[in-house]
Amino acid sequence: MTNNLKNNISNSNMENVVVFGTGNFGKIVVRAIVDCGIKITKICDSNTSNWGTFFCGYPVVGPDELTENDVVYLATNISNRKFLRKICRDKNIQSVFDVDNILRESSWPSYHGELDLEWSLDRAQEVIDLYLFDIASETELPLLKVKSLDVVLTERCSLKCVDCSNLMQYYQKPIGAEVEVLVESLEHFFVTVDYVSEIRLIGGEPLVSKNVERVLDTIFAYSNFDKIVLYTNGTVIPKESILKKFQDPRVWVKISDYGPVSRKAQLLADACKSLNINCIHEQVTEWEDVGRILNRDRTLDQNKVVFGNCCVNDTLTLLHGHLYACPFSAHTDNLGVLKNAEADKVNLLDLESLKERIQSIYRDKDVLVACNLCNGRDHIVAKVIAGVQTKLPLRLEVSSA
For position 371 contacting ligand SF4 by CB under 6 A, the verdict is yes
Residue number with CB closer to ligand SF4 (17 or 153): 153
Contact (CB, 8 A) for 311 and 377:
yes
- At a CB cut-off of 8 Å and minimum separation 6, what does 80 contact? 308, 309, 310, 311, 313, 378
Residue number with CB closer to ligand SF4 (10 or 391): 391
- Render the burial of 265-285: b for 16+ CB within 10 Å, e for the rest: beebbebbeeeebbbbbeeee
The DSSP H or E segment spanning 228 is strand 225-232
Q: Which of 165, 189, 167, 185 is nearest to 177 (CA)?
A: 185
Residue number with CB closer to ligand SF4 (116 or 301): 301
- CB of residue 291 to ligand SF4, shortest distance in Å: 8
For position 306 contacting ligand SF4 by CB under 6 A, the verdict is yes
Q: SS3 of 20, please?
A: strand
Q: What are the distances in angstroms from CA 47 to CA 71, 147, 286, 360?
A: 20, 26, 19, 29
State which of residues 106, 329, 334, 359 lies at the interface with ligand SF4 (CB under 6 A): 329
Residue number with CB closer to ligand SF4 (22 or 235): 235
For position 312 contacting ligand SF4 by CB under 6 A, the verdict is yes
Residue number with CB closer to ligand SF4 (354 or 370): 370
- Between CA 154 and CA 177 the distance in angstroms is 5
For position 368 contacting ligand SF4 by CB under 6 A, the verdict is yes
For position 370 contacting ligand SF4 by CB under 6 A, the verdict is yes
Q: SS3 of 349, please?
A: coil
For position 157 contacting ligand SF4 by CB under 6 A, the verdict is yes
Task: Considering only the stretches 99-107, 293-301, 338-346, 373-381, report the one whose residues sit in contact with ligand SF4 under the rule CB under 6 A.
Answer: 373-381
Q: What are the distances in angstroms from CA 64 to CA 18, 69, 109, 391?
A: 13, 14, 33, 46
- Between CA 194 and CA 178 the distance in angstroms is 26
Task: Considering only the stretches 174-182, 220-228, 353-361, 370-378, report the one whose residues sit in contact with ligand SF4 under the rule CB under 6 A.
Answer: 370-378
Q: Which of 232, 237, 182 is nearest to 203 (CA)?
A: 232
State which of residues 98, 155, 205, 257 lies at the interface with ligand SF4 (CB under 6 A): 205
State which of residues 29, 74, 161, 316 lies at the interface with ligand SF4 (CB under 6 A): 161
State which of residues 31, 160, 264, 281 lies at the interface with ligand SF4 (CB under 6 A): 160
Which residues sit at the interface with ligand SF4, rule CB under 6 A?
A: 157, 159-161, 164, 166, 168, 203-205, 233, 306-307, 310, 312-313, 326, 328-329, 368, 370-371, 374, 376-377
